[in-house]
Structure 1
Amino acid sequence: QTFFTDDEIGNYYLLDSIITVVDAKHAPQQLDEFHEAQEQVGFADRLLLSKTDLTNEEDTKKLVDRLRRMNPRAPIKKVHFGDAPLAEVLDIRGFNLNAILELDPEFLTDLDHEHHDEVESFVFRAKKPFDGQKLEQFLSGMIQVYGPDLLRYKGILWMKGNARRVVFQGVHMMMGGDLGKPWTKADKKESILVFIGKKLPKDLFLAGLEECLAK
């Protein structure tokens, strides 16, 4: 959070993104034993999966599925000795407020899993607009209580009375938002929010967000 709160550092340095390299051979055990390893996955904008040549196809798939459930917004790329195209690891601008919310489509349909990790994620979707005042009050309250456990969160929002998308994202207790592109007649208006955190009360978040929709 130093990059966002310290103006002197922010004037000279840009936090472009967080890249996490995952050792496919040892990651399952590391994720089981160390919550720090899970947090590194949860914070990531990109996941680079190495040493897949030392694991079989079934174990690799199980690991990829597990990583996807923990962080559905981080693309996963297999690499050999860390060799990756520079365009995929530099100038990503993972902390920019933009209208791109990358979610692995398989995440939304992958319901069966054997691991219940400390770091998990969930998505809220709605085809009704939000009441802006209700949403701000709800998110502010939840962040005050659960901010330390919220690793990353981001949303593209349809707000009542607003002709443009509203984009927001946050890290822990720091949240920011801005206006995005205007909605067009061809757009299917929808809000989508993804939350990544440690033992978050998913049902409480989802029910609260539902109550924030405009009546």
Structure 2
Amino acid sequence: MKKLTPVTILTGFLGSGKTTLLAHLLADPRLERTAVIINEFGEVSIDHLIVAKVAENVVELRNGCLCCTIRGDLALTLRDLYRQRVLEEVAPFERVIVETSGLADPVPLVHTLMTDPHLMRAFGLEAVVTVIDAQHAAQTLPEHETATNQLALADLVVLTKTDIASAEERSAAERLVAGINPQAECLVAVQGAIDPVLLVGRSRFMPDRRAGTIMAWILAHEHHDHATHYATHVITRPGPLSLAGTTVFLNHLVNQAGDSLLRIKGIAGFREKGGRPAILHAVRNKFYPVQWLDDWPDTDQTSRLVFIGRQLDAAWLDEKFASLCE
């Protein structure tokens, strides 16, 4: 099977420290063979790092990293990069980091990477990394839905400005992160920087097929009290489900819930497949291809679905699930 080039989406609201973090990453020699896609060259100070201009929108940095600006949209930019790599017009990069603008909702980028048939043959989404300003999180997150969405979709959170935030501000930021997205790993940047090894190399958005990562990915949402309007509901069943009924249920759910439903993820066995388990995953109203597993990741064969969104009607979910899936 062809190895996909992993892609990390780096997002964060205006003033979060994302640009400072990115500047540190672009100067780190450990990001050799990484292509970093940014909005504009002028937004990140990299002039002193450039060793060659290899294309109209691509420069090579002295740490072996490629830096390029988005041309049109992400899909076009990634296709261009892939073509340039095949033709050996650019250095043979092994991973990609995509920076979003501060006001961007990362969901469309996720959808592009997970549904574009051309990109899916070459690239795989590894993680969504969200940068949070610890000093101002208590004001920014309640007031700006985009900032909350960026955090809610994150697989990894980087807290910045903890050195200038008060103890109360940092504590409030940590509570908000835990309340909105308890399953995300949370790291603290030191003077705006983070060890790049912690950002790349581990599949967080979709688990690999090892038992520990699959179950950690699914179980992370359980046993948390959410302090915001985001809520999590978990449905479990001890045995396999109806594949046809589950398909109808999930399609009905995304049509009914609209944008209030942020994410669905889970693992379930299905009777039509002899109890064979599969990983299920959706973001908003987009379902991603089912990942069929050869066997359950451990001895626990409980079918388990996790629903994350705003104002979820738990009773309605339970009723529809029971009537269609069992």
- TM-score band (shorter)? 0.7 to 0.9
Aligned match of 2:95: none
Q: Of the two, which has the highest radius of gyration?
A: 2
Letter in 2 for 1:126: R
User: Which of the numbers 43, 47, 51 marks the counterpart of 2:153?
Assistant: 43
Identity %: 24
CA distance in 1, matches of 2:228, 2:274: 39
Question: 2:302 aligns to what?
Answer: 190
Specify whether residues 26 and 62 from structure 1 end up closer, same or farther in structure 2 by C-alpha distance, changes over 3 A only: closer
Matched, 1:70 2:180: yes
Aligned to 2:316: 204
Q: CA separation in 2, counterparts of 1:22 and 1:107?
A: 20
Paired position in structure 2 for 1:137: 248
Q: 1:70-121: per-residue Cα shift (whole Å, max 9, x none)?
A: 223321222223433323211333443645143597863343x6x433x333
Match in the other structure for 2:284: 172
Q: Please, which runs of 5 or more residues in structure 2 have no aligned partner?
A: 1-110
Larger RCO of the pair (alpha carbons < 8 Å, separation 6+): 1
What is the distance in 2 between the residues matched to 1:108 and 1:71?
11
Amino acid across the alignment from 1:159: F
Q: 1:12 to 1:128 in 2, by over 3 A?
A: closer
Give the TM-score, by structure 2 length: 0.55
1:1-215 aligned at under 5 Å gives the runs 1-11=111-121, 13-53=123-163, 54-56=165-167, 60-96=170-206, 98-99=208-209, 100-102=214-216, 108-111=222-225, 115-117=227-229, 119-160=230-271, 162-175=274-287, 176-183=289-296, 187-214=299-326
**2:75 aligned partner:** none
Residues in 2 aligned to 1:105 and 1:11: alpha-carbon distance in whole angstroms: 29
Distance in 1 of aligned mates of 2:122 and 2:136: 37
TM-score normalized with structure 1 length: 0.79
Q: d(CA) in 2 for partners of 1:105 and 1:25?
A: 30
CA distance in 1, matches of 2:220, 2:117: 39
Aligned-CA RMSD value = 2.9
| Cα 1:83–1:101 shift into 2, 3 Å | farther
Aligned mates of 1:104, 1:166 — CA distance in 2: 12
Amino acid at match of 2:200: L
Change (3 A) 1:151 1:141: same
Contact 1:98 1:167 in 2 (8 A): no
| Aligned counterparts of 2:149 and 2:301: Cα–Cα separation in 1 | 32
Change over 3 Å in CA distance of 1:60–1:182 after alignment to 2: same
Judge conservation of contact 1:150–1:172 (CA < 8 Å) in 2.
yes
Number of matched pairs: 209
